Structure 1
């Protein structure tokens, strides 16, 4: 009975996606910080609109809710863990592969950023897109995964077809 609460037909798919996302994110961060040593080479201009740069984000998206206090950082880590557990709980009930993949992307990305907060006290961001004087926020693979996961959930909920309205001719 307890297994039903935490395991469903799409759980393996979602958890594999989460694990692969986490490995890609953490692997990229280790390589950028310790192997490539981006901190001593930055900024690295790759194209006229894309640079590599190391920024330590002590907050959440767009640098909001900056946390210099250890308790604040711990609260952000705890929040990521609680959200990830809730998403894994949801994963046990999903009915489409797209929803499972989307949840896996979000869980893997949240875990990657939570690991950064726990180890470094901040999230390592590297990718900077800019054009025509406009600078988007600096992000990492975990951020891309979270955004892609949210887009997948929105797409599946709007166009997935698993929630059909009743046939008006039968009403």
Structure 2
């Protein structure tokens, strides 16, 4: 047990897993509110500004609606992929020493789980936020998607500017 504790539960693990849980909670609460309280399906497109609308779009594919899956087997594949990716990210989280990396991984795990929950209960991911300008339409997305993107940006920032050891000459012996 002590070996498992050392391997999986390191000082930054609670931070990353707490962020993941918070993202899932916020994402699922927002989706439930939009679907059952605000009833976005009955409202159609709700214009908020000249460049931002609320709308319900059911995404049956992966990011940006790519590779839509209409069959139960296809949906199961996407759910299993999200679960596998979340487990792999949790294993990575157990090895990180950077708070930014831990938060970023937590954001990605939470977003993946939030969207997987939608696939389990609805067969597709509920997306609501639509940005558009100058005749261009951005993809419709949700809070889980925003968390995933923020997590990826955090990982990129940390890998480029996080003060990791730089390649160069080996230390003198």
TM class by smaller structure: over 0.9
Give 2:9's match in structure 1, choosing from 1, 7, 10. Answer: 7
Deviations 1:83-106 (A, max 9, x none): 000000000000100000000000
Following the alignment from structure 1 to structure 2, what is the Cα–Cα distance between the partners of residues 117 and 152? 26
TM-score, with normalisation over the residues of structure 2? 0.95
Q: Which runs of 5+ in 1 are unaligned?
A: none
Q: CA RMSD in A?
A: 1.5
Give the C-alpha shift of residue 120 in structure 1. 0.2
Alignment of 1:20-169 (within 5 A): 20-166=22-168
Deviations 1:62-119 (A, max 9, x none): 1111000001000000000000000000000001000000000000000000000000
Q: Which runs of 5+ in 2 are unaligned?
A: none
Q: Which residue of 1 aligns with 2:20?
A: 18
Following the alignment from structure 1 to structure 2, what is the Cα–Cα distance between the partners of residues 169 and 8? 28
Give the C-alpha shift of residue 3 in structure 1. 1.8
Give the C-alpha shift of residue 170 in structure 1. 5.9
Are residues 75 and 159 of structure 1, via their aligned partners in 2, closer, same or farther at CA, if it must alter by over 3 Å? same
Give the C-alpha shift of residue 8 in structure 1. 1.1
TM-score, with normalisation over the residues of structure 1? 0.96
Following the alignment from structure 2 to structure 1, what is the Cα–Cα distance between the partners of residues 60 and 54? 19
Give the C-alpha shift of residue 166 in structure 1. 3.9
Following the alignment from structure 1 to structure 2, what is the Cα–Cα distance between the partners of residues 124 and 4? 38
Following the alignment from structure 1 to structure 2, what is the Cα–Cα distance between the partners of residues 132 and 16? 39
Following the alignment from structure 1 to structure 2, what is the Cα–Cα distance between the partners of residues 161 and 139? 32
